Amino acid sequence: MFLSFLPEAPGFARGLYHEVERKTSGGAHFMTSSHLIDLLYMAIIAVVAVFFILQLIMVSHFFAPRNPNPVKLEPYECGNVSLGEPWSKFHVGYYVFALLFLAFDIETVFLFPLAVVYRGAGLIALVELALFMGILVFALYYAWKKGFLEWT
């Protein structure tokens, strides 16, 4: 067994989904010693996991090469030399167009499961699909009339 160095714990050896054995005393429930041993094992594993994560961060911190120079400290912009201020403003149309794309892209993801099970779903699914597509078409029409899809 991979945890042979640990003392025998029947609940832990059988897995996390073992039968809960509770003793009652005057209506109050309390955990048996095997449950406490299971919790102890989980706490030990959590402490070891945190230790390894901190150890990796510290090793990276101490052994990573650091030799900053002006060229390395410049912002990297796809291989091109950066021009202008780094906090320049973008036209709001880019954000609106991206949000519209994201919204319609997610809506099409919702259409796929309905298309897969359409044959067995019946008339109610057809009505729901028509309502859903109607909302999508109305949203696209609204965005088009408001000029959100134009790049000017």
Question: Looking at this protein, which amino acid is placed at residue 48?
Answer: V
**Residue 36 belongs to some domain of the structure:** yes
User: Reduced to 3 states, what is the DSSP secondary structure of residue 59?
Assistant: helix
Range of the domain at 122: 92-146
Report how far apart, in Å, the C-alpha atoms of 44 and of each of 5, 11, 12, 48, 115 are: 13, 16, 13, 6, 48
**Residue 26 belongs to some domain of the structure:** yes
pLDDT for 81:
72
Model confidence at 127: pLDDT above 80: yes
**Residue 152 belongs to some domain of the structure:** no
**Residue 79 belongs to some domain of the structure:** no
**Residue 114 belongs to some domain of the structure:** yes
Same domain? 97 vs 56: no
Contact 20, 8 (CB under 8 A): no
**pLDDT tier at 59, thresholds 50, 70, 90:** very high
**Residue 75 belongs to some domain of the structure:** no
Residues facing residue 28 across a β-bridge: 25
Domains held by the chain: number: 2
**Residue 14 belongs to some domain of the structure:** yes
Q: State pTM to two decimals.
A: 0.39
Same domain? 58 vs 98: no
Model confidence at 98: pLDDT above 80: yes
